Amino acid sequence: MKQSTTKLVCFSLLLLSIACDKDETSKDQSLELAKQTKIINVTNHDGKPFSTGVSTNVNSKYVANPGGGVMMQAFYWDVPAGGTWWNTVKSKVTAWGNAGIGSIWLPPASKAQNGAYSMGYDPTDYYDFGDYNQNGTVETRFGSKTELVSLITQAHTENMQVYADIVINHNSGGQSEANPYTGTNTWTNFSGVASGKFTRNYNDFYKNSYGNNDEGSFGGFPDLCHANPHVQDWLWGRADAVGKYYKNTMKFDGWRFDYVKGFGPWVVNNWNANVGGFSVGEYWDSNVNTLEWWANNANSSVFDFACYYKMNDAFDGNNLALLNDDMMWKRNPYKAVTFVTNHDTDEIWKKNLAYAYILTHEGYPTIFYRDYEEWLNKERLNNLIWIHNNKATGTTSILYSDNDEYIARRNGYNGNVGLVVYLNNSSSWQERWIQTNWANAQIKDFTGHSSWYPTTQGDKWVKIQCPPNSYSVWSINM
């Protein structure tokens, strides 16, 4: 396993007392002692910067890729049934693109056992996108194949990528058949799928001639056997395999793999090698070593659950010093997809601080549909998206942290000057002297929360502030 390059530094009580001093008469003494403090440096293993966008256009498109952009999770659990969701999402992609969102993640798009009421996580026919009459319906919960294609086309027009949710751990909706490996009847006969593609029987599911089980089954569904060459061929091998059909015919650009704990990382690795496109796995585990192991072996990005749980403990548990701890984005930001909530879990209450964190730090940040469209302040999120796309460049240095405050610097890259983000989890305004990368430069808070326009000193130090239970983001005023 790679070792994190993060250097966690314990600050002295003397520094804490000095840094809290807001009396201008003690500025010189406080500043001199503060300059002796070590800074926590967070650097990619390969030494490269993370994002490199330098656009200053508020409506700039930022193309999604493993090293930049902002992703929208374009659904939530139990979106309205009735076949309207693809059209709902299509009506929003232009505004999302103008806000700087570079990709959208759609729910599982093919026909599932629960037909018109299914969220897609019980897949039956991978080639039925709402154009075959099976499982009691023609359209899926989300709409027709024609509407899905129209949505993808519109997103591409807006220079946005579209990621498909891929459920290949388990299947559902098969017919009963005698199974010699269990001595019972199992619901594993998929020979009658309406598309006629990727027909399956008991030997395509565990237990079978290839073994009794793989890494994990889910919910009592038949557990797909990836060791079977027939399954491999239909998932990624042949010209009309599931992955290639999604990519070449449906025009999806990438994949979110569901429940990857249920099968070996070699499965996603082989899919990526044969199909291509961006990929991220849902490996639900807070252990950063496990996340890094999976991402490396799958040759894929992974959702940064280590970051998610640290943010929950830090913001809701009133201990921002926990943000010094290790996370996937600190190990390899090119393979870390950060998030605040999703369709499965919604634990963080102080979401404004969490979004300010992921949209100013390294990693590939994801915004949840309901947070953006219903629950939070869309203008504030759009401002953070703009900051991410235009200012959040280069490696990261953590400048200060305690229970209530956290300050970090993005060091800039290729002419982009970077930023300083200040998170305040207390009930009062806070101020700090910090070291920037800018000498004799006027800076401002690009969130508009602070009205200060301070000028950095010749040695790059400056005093900044942050409102209560909020954040500020500072960079050169230009």
Which residues are known binding-site members for Ca(2+)?
A: 169
Q: CA 342, 348, 349, 353 torsion: positive or negative?
A: negative
Q: Is 258 a catalytic residue?
A: yes
- Looking at 21, 131, 177, 282, which residue is catalytic? 282
Could you list the beta-strand ranges (E) of 344-449: 364-368, 396-401, 405-410, 419-424, 430-435, 443-445
Q: CA–CA distance from 209 to each of 153, 193, 206, 270 (Å)?
A: 43, 23, 8, 22
Q: Which tokens is 218 given?
A: 């889910």
Q: Which residues are annotated as a binding site?
A: 169
Which position among 258, 313, 362, 371 bears the catalytic label? 258
CA 51 to each of CA 55, 98, 194, 264, 396: distance values in angstroms, whole numbers, following the listed order = 12, 19, 44, 30, 11
Does the bond joining 207 to the residue before it have cis omega, within 30 degrees of 0? yes
CA–CA dist 191, 212 (Å, integer): 22
* 300: its two tokens: 């894929």
Distance CA 58, CA 401 (A): 31
Cα–Cα distance measured from residue 103 to residue 63, given in angstroms and rounded to the nearest whole number? 7
Contact 281, 298 (CB under 8 A): yes
Catalytic residues: 258, 282
